[in-house]
Amino acid sequence: MRRSKVVRNTSETQIELTLDLEGQGRRRIDTPIPFLNHMLESFSRHGLFDLEVTARGDVEVDAHHTVEDVGICLGLAMRDALGDRSGIVRFGEATIPMDETLVSSAIDFGGRAALVYRADTLKGRWLGTFDAELAREFFGGFVGAALCNLHLEVRYGENAHHMVEALFKAFARAASMAARKDPRVVGVPSTKGTLTA
């Protein structure tokens, strides 16, 4: 079972998250940030991950802590569920259109953290009460905890909602591809023999 549960309690956030890599896209999401809920539901559905998230945070100050910490928890769960990463595809990529928007994502569960985020068109944009730039904080939290390389690029787009949602969908599809088991892969897919050290 490639399944993991993470509990994180700080003075800023309280989060419980369960991730099943062998899922069907079942989800139960409960955070105080409606747009984040929508993005996590999209990640689960399009990555075919079963995901449960319950989060509380100091959103009266700002949504930043909650968004970033949920990203960290998802990354920790992914890292734990992948185990020693034996037999996984390791690399994944996806390009997602959403109306006028086109977004690309590439991921490597190679054991090192690096985020490349090219989405300058989202700077200063808001989706209701959600600061679109918080998407970067979510992905940064995920990358640092999961120990992966993640490259995300908004190739073009106009509508901020479409751009952020396409980022999450592309991320989901790329992560699903990379986390998948391939029976042809014997052991860890690395010439150095490990992806966790």
Domains in the chain: boundaries: 3-179
* Residue 197 pLDDT: 78
Strand segments, DSSP code E, in the chain are: 3-9, 13-20, 27-30, 50-57, 91-98, 101-108, 114-118, 126-127, 130-131, 149-156
pLDDT in tens, 25-73: 999 999 999 999 999 999 999 999 999 999 999 999 899 999 999 999 9
Helix, strand, coil content of the chain in percent (nearest 5): 35, 30, 35
How many Å apart are CA 22 and CA 179, to the nearest integer?
10
How many Å apart are CA 83 and CA 78, to the nearest integer?
9
The DSSP code for 120 is G
> Look-up: residue for tokens 């106009």?
158
Mean pLDDT of 77-102: 97
CATH architecture classification, 3-179: 2-Layer Sandwich (3.30)
Mean pLDDT of 160-175: 98
Sign of torsion over alpha carbons 102, 121, 33, 115: positive
- Closest by CA to 71, choosing from 173, 146, 125, is 146
Paired tokens of 168: 């999450």
CA atoms within 13 A on the CB side of 30: 8
**pLDDT band (50, 70, 90) for residue 19:** very high
